[in-house]
Amino acid sequence: MFKNKAVRNWGIVVVVIVAVLFGVWTFASATTNTTAVNTESKVVSLDVAETIEASGSLEAQPFAALNWKTSGVVEKVNVKAGDIVKAGDTLATLQPTSTEAGIVSAKADLVNAQVKLRDLLNSGTALAQAKIDLKDAQEAYTKADNYLKYLNYSEYVPQTIYTAKLVATGSNGWEYQYDTRNFKGPAPKDWIVEATNDLALKKGKLDDAQQTYDSLLAGAESPDVTAARAGVEAAQATVNSLYIIAPFDGEILSVEQQAGDVVNTGDLSLNLADMQGLYVETQVDESDVANVKVGQPTVVTLDAVAGVTLTGKVSAINPVGENVSDLVKYTVRIDLDQLDGDAFLPLGATADVVIKIKDETVSLAVPIAVMQNDGQGEYVMVIQSDGSAKRVDVISGVIVGDLVVLNGDLNEGDQLQLPVPETDGIGG
């Protein structure tokens, strides 16, 4: 009996110890939760600019993908990637004998056309002939004008009337007898109409002659010179198909061939761009585009190049929207400022754009962790002077790091309470 009583007493002791330990653990857990609930944060003020974020791709203007105009074998490549070239520089050449026969003969045609053009430019024949043509046109106009005046005002214009009648002959035959009568009188209306039309024609020829003479006198080209120059340009264009020529000042981005390579018409030779003319085209939602204005400053970063920040300004806004995935968007162009240094800027790289639509203003912000939301909307809990917590409804704005800018009945320095964590039983 004593043995069973001792076992029972030890059992009681164990139960008491477990109960004490459970109480201590529960108190510690409650203390931990109370500490979390009472953790406080403050309302702070920030200088925040209103911005619109979008993305696009880095482009350059002008940009040219230069292609071969004929097939052949590359004779020489004069540039490499990174070289700076001037408009008109010859960048690559084909072997003349490897191209079409017409291109080789065009060289001789070009020489002949250049000689003809030079001779015409050095000759004064065109101006002298224009002076003679103008004098002749003036005389013809004056004669036509005087004639029309004569017909309109003279009462004694010589005229002739021809008549014919059929009469019988002695041999029972018939013949026509003609009669001519000359007289003077007012001109017939059809004569005046014809003379008026002729005067208008003479006036047009006089105006053309005067314009030609004045143009040549001022240094303009004669029609012969214009035709000769067109011949030179046509021959030059054919000859130029042997070459890749820079159409503008810029930087060589890539070269596709080397000497000895065989190329076909249309093959890419090299890429050329003016890297001082960088821009980004991005698309802005219809809900934001009304806030975008030409001249607004922008900041651009590239996914492909870490640590490089480009600046620029909005230069154009396309007023015609386009549907993109059931959203209406508007294209906005941003011209970028020149970047100091020699940073690698790959064209076509994804560009993240921030458009500043309003200057910095002082705004209130709170840690994101104190924000709460329910059926009534967003709110925070503000700790009062007596230690109680009061709900304050807010409207959240932009996020800056771990803070969120908001509007509401708050003051800088207000103490805020973190949300009470949800539990699912004892000990959480």
Of residues 365, 360, 362, 363, the one with CA closest to residue 414: 365
Across the range 226-250, mean pLDDT stands at 82
Q: How confident is the model at residue 121 (pLDDT cuts 50, 70, 90)?
A: low
Domain ranges of the chain: 2-46+362-417, 52-61+273-360, 125-231
Could you please report the per-residue DSSP string of 41-103? EE-EEEEEEEEEEEEEEEEESSEEEEE-SS-EEEEEE---TT-EE-TT-EEEEE-GGGS-HHH
Percent of the chain with pLDDT over 90: 52
pLDDT at 22: 41
Q: CA-CA distance, 347 to 337, in Å (whole number)?
A: 15
Q: How confident is the model at residue 7 (pLDDT cuts 50, 70, 90)?
A: very low
Beta-carbon neighbour count of residue 383 at 10 Å?
16
Q: Are 416 and 370 in contact (CB under 8 A)?
A: yes
Beta-carbon neighbour count of residue 76 at 10 Å?
13
361 burial class (0-12, 13-18, 19+ CB within 10 angstroms)? exposed
How far, in whole angstroms, is CA 39 from its chain's centroid? 54
pLDDT at 366: 93
Across the range 314-343, mean pLDDT stands at 90
Of residues 347, 363, 353, 348, the one with CA closest to residue 333: 353
pTM above 0.85, yes or no: no
Position with higher pLDDT, 138 vs 238 = 138
What DSSP element (H or E) covers 308?
strand 305-317
User: In CATH, what is the architecture of 52-61+273-360?
Assistant: Beta Barrel (2.40)
Could you please report the per-residue DSSP string of 260-272? T-EE-TT-EEEEE
Position with higher pLDDT, 191 vs 13 = 191
**Which residue pairs, CB below 8 angstroms and at least 24 apart, start in 248-251?**
248/62, 248/64, 248/87, 248/272, 248/274, 249/84, 249/85, 249/86, 249/87, 249/274, 250/62, 250/64, 250/84, 250/85, 250/274, 250/275, 251/82, 251/83, 251/84, 251/85, 251/275
Q: Are 167 and 175 in contact (CB under 8 A)?
A: yes
Supply the DSSP symbol for 277: S
Q: CA-CA distance, 371 to 396, in Å (whole number)?
A: 9
Please state which of the ranges 173-177, 246-250, 275-279, 383-387 shows the lowest mean pLDDT: 173-177
pLDDT at 307: 86
Across the range 405-428, mean pLDDT stands at 79
Residue 388 has pLDDT above 60, yes or no: yes
- Whole-number average pLDDT of the chain: 83
Looking at the chain, the number of H-run helices and the number of E-run strands are: 5, 23
Q: CA-CA distance, 258 to 97, in Å (whole number)?
A: 18
pLDDT at 351: 94
Beta-carbon neighbour count of residue 43 at 10 Å?
21
Strand pairing report for 174-185 and 377-383: unpaired
Q: Where are the alpha helices (DSSP H) in 298-396?
A: none
pLDDT at 174: 81
C-alpha triplet 300, 304, 309: angle, nearest 5° = 30
CATH 2.40.420.20 fits 2-46+362-417, yes or no: yes
Cis amide leading into 62 (omega within 30): yes
Position with higher pLDDT, 266 vs 171 = 266
Q: CA-CA distance, 173 to 167, in Å (whole number)?
A: 8
Across the range 160-177, mean pLDDT stands at 81
- 3-state DSSP call for residue 115? helix
Across the range 205-210, mean pLDDT stands at 94
pLDDT at 220: 65
pLDDT at 34: 36
